[in-house]
């Protein structure tokens, strides 16, 4: 993503335990970039380290943005239990999808495999009486960012295991009909941001379809190009966004300085 900010000059590296912060722009004007790692746990740890260091230095972040590539769900006919009609029936609502090369902005960042498997199906951790499974980025920011980038908005799932079968894709879609994409870091990044009462945004470019494993179908180069272009359009929105919308059930953020923990 640093390429989306080429005009900011070369980044300055600030080493922290376990993660390096790449600082673009001067103090108070800039954007910090981290490669947060693959998977929700490492992404949460890296993001929390950067957030804590900034808070202890008296310059807390105003926003955390998680960007990377993702698998996109194909459009599908919704399963409506107990309702007649074939999958292609006009009476069944269509579930939206996200094609390879497209951009997705999360209006919900949901941990899809955090919970318990039971004989009656999957139970999210919230049904077990603790934790959270969904973080919601500020609505006004999602609207402005989607309009600037042309990204589709919907749920982005966070998984620890990349989906590799049609059955798993269908099961996720049945549990999360608003899901457009799955990736592996958003929920971890969002948990770290929430612990610091900082709002979060997740932007993904689709590199592959969610479904049967097919490495030949990956278009990582195209997705990274789309992500770079999309982030370039997002930058002015981040700079002008005023964190007037408090993060979910938390105090308003103290600083408007944007940060961008990246995961790839």
Ligand X SMILES: O=C(O)c1cccc(C(=O)CC[C@H]2O[C@@H](n3cnc4c(=O)[nH]cnc43)[C@H](O)[C@@H]2O)c1
Shortest Cβ 157–ligand X spacing (Å): 8
Tell me whether residue 110 or residue 207 sits nearer to ligand X (CB atom): 207
Shortest Cβ 223–ligand X spacing (Å): 8
CB 112 within 8 Å of CB 170: no
Shortest Cβ 100–ligand X spacing (Å): 10
Shortest Cβ 189–ligand X spacing (Å): 11
Shortest Cβ 208–ligand X spacing (Å): 5
- Binding residues for ligand X, rule: CB under 6 A, are 38, 68-71, 159, 162-164, 182-185, 207-208, 210, 213, 263-264
Separation CA 69–CA 125 (nearest Å): 26
Tell me whether residue 44 or residue 54 sits nearer to ligand X (CB atom): 44
CB 42 within 8 Å of CB 177: no
Tell me the β-bridge partners of 94: 77
What's the count of helices (H) and strands (E) in the chain, helices before strands?
5, 14
Separation CA 74–CA 226 (nearest Å): 19
Separation CA 123–CA 134 (nearest Å): 14
Separation CA 75–CA 89 (nearest Å): 14
Q: Which residue number has the CB closest to ligand X?
A: 71
Tell me whether residue 49 or residue 264 sits nearer to ligand X (CB atom): 264
Tell me whether residue 101 or residue 164 sits nearer to ligand X (CB atom): 164
State both tokens at 256. 């408007």
Separation CA 127–CA 42 (nearest Å): 25
Tell me whether residue 38 or residue 125 sits nearer to ligand X (CB atom): 38
Separation CA 231–CA 36 (nearest Å): 17
Report the sign of the C-alpha dihedral through residues 35, 38, 42, 44, in that order. positive
Tell me whether residue 63 or residue 69 sits nearer to ligand X (CB atom): 69
Tell me whether residue 134 or residue 197 sits nearer to ligand X (CB atom): 134
Shortest Cβ 187–ligand X spacing (Å): 11
Q: 232 CB contacts (<8 Å, ≥6 apart)?
A: 4, 5
Shortest Cβ 197–ligand X spacing (Å): 25
């Amino acid at each position: 993503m640093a390429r989306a900010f080429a005009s900011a000059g070369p980044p300055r590296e600030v080493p922290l335990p376990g993660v390096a912060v790449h600082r673009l722009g001067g103090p108070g004007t800039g954007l910090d970039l981290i490669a947060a790692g693959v998977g929700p746990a490492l992404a949460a740890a890296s993001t929390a380290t950067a957030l804590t260091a900034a808070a202890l230095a008296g310059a807390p972040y105003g926003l955390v943005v998680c960007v990377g590539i993702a698998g996109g769900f194909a459009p599908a006919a919704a399963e409506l239990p107990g309702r007649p009609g074939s999958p292609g029936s006009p009476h069944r609502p269509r579930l939206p999808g996200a094609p390879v090369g497209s951009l997705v902005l999360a209006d919900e960042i949901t941990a899809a495999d955090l919970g318990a498997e039971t004989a009656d199906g999957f139970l999210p951790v919230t049904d077990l009486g603790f934790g959270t499974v969904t973080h919601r980025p500020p609505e006004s920011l999602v609207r402005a960012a989607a309009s600037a980038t042309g990204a589709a908005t919907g749920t982005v799932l966070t998984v620890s295991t990349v989906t590799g079968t049609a059955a798993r894709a269908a099961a996720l879609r049945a549990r999360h009909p608003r899901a457009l994409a799955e990736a592996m870091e958003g929920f971890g990044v969002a948990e770290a941001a929430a612990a610091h009462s900082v709002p979060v945004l997740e932007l993904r470019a689709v590199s592959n379809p969610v479904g049967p494993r097919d490495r030949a179908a990956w278009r990582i180069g195209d997705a990274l190009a789309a992500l770079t272009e999309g982030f370039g359009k997002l930058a002015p929105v981040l700079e002008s966004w005023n964190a007037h919308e408090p993060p979910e059930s938390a105090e308003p953020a103290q600083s408007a300085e944007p940060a961008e923990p990246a995961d790839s």
